[in-house]
Amino acid sequence: MTKREIERSVQPSLLDRLTDHDPRNNLEGRIGYLESVRQFKTGLQRDLEWLLNTRRIPIAAPDELEELGRSTYHYGLPDVTSISRDSHEARDRLLRRVEDAITMFEPRLANVNIAVVEMEGEEHRRELRFHVEGTLLMDPTPEQVIFDTVLHFASGAYEIEGAGGSAAGASRGT
C-alpha cells in the first residue's frame, strides 16, 4: 500500500474513530482507500438503521421553542404500527418523514430522495420496500449511493439491506 493511498483514505465518523473493534490488538494497521470507503458506507448503513428504528417522542415541541424542532428532541421516526397499509397517502406521508429525518440527522448524505419499490400481491401488506438515494459526502470524491430499505409492518422495524458496492462510481448498498 502506497503512502499516497493511505493519505487518500476516507475519514470515518466520530463514533467509528472512537470505537475500538479489536481492543486486544495494540497495533492499528493502516487501511487503504477502498477499505476506508467500505467501512465508511458500513458505518452509514448502521447509523441510518439506528435513525429509522428510533421512535421519536410523540409530543410535538411547543411552537415558541422553534430551535427544539431542529434538535435531537425530534431524532427518529414516529411509531408506524398503526399506519394504514392500504393507504397511499399514509405511505407517502411516512416516506416524507423518513426523507426529512435523514436530511436533518445524517450529514454524510446529501440530496436525499426516497423511491418506493412497488410490490405485487399480498407482500405489500407485510412490508414496504423503498430506496434511500443520495450523494455520499466523502472527501475527496462524493458518490451516489442507493440503500435498499424494508419496513416490516408487523414489528415496525426498518432494515437496510446490502453489503457490497464499489468505491468508484455509483453503487448499491454499502
pLDDT tens digits for range 123-169:
667 889 999 999 999 887 899 999 999 999 888 999 998 633 333 33
* Rounded Cα–Cα distance for residues 130 and 118 (Å): 8
Task: Give the model's pLDDT for residue 14.
Answer: 64
CA dihedral 35, 40, 41, 46 (to 10 degrees): 130
> Which cell numbers hold the place of 62?
411547543
* Gap between the Cα atoms of 90 and 88, Å rounded: 5
In the predicted structure, residue 170 carries a pLDDT above the cut 50? no
**pLDDT > 70 fraction of the chain, expressed in percent and rounded:** 76
pLDDT in tens, 73-121: 889 998 887 777 778 898 899 999 999 999 999 999 999 999 999 877 6
Rounded Cα distance between 23 and 119, Å, is 44
DSSP 55: B
Grid coordinates belonging to 170 = 455509483
The CB density around residue 95, as the number of other CB atoms within 10 Å, is 17
pLDDT-derived band at 173 (thresholds 50, 70, 90) equals very low
Give the integer Cα–Cα distance in Å for 172 and 46: 15
Asked if 13 and 108 touch (Cβ cutoff 8 Å), the reply is: yes
Reply yes or no on whether the pLDDT at 18 is more than 80: no
**Domains, the chain, ranges and CATH?**
31-172 (3.10.450.40)
Question: All 3 cell numbers of residue 110?
Answer: 446529501
Ranges of beta strands (E only) in 25-174 are 109-117, 127-136, 143-152, 157-161, 171-172
* Residue recorded with cell 415558541: 64
DSSP assignment of 75-112: -SB---TT--TT-HHHHHHHHHHHHHHHHHH-TTEEEE
Q: What is the pLDDT of residue 85?
A: 76
Q: What is the pLDDT of residues 110-125, one digit of tens each?
A: 999 999 998 776 666 7
Determine the pLDDT at residue 70: 80
pLDDT of residue 148: 94
Determine if the pTM surpasses 0.75: yes
The closest of 50, 34, 53 to 169, measured between CA atoms, is 34
Q: Which residues pair with 145 in a beta bridge?
A: 134, 171
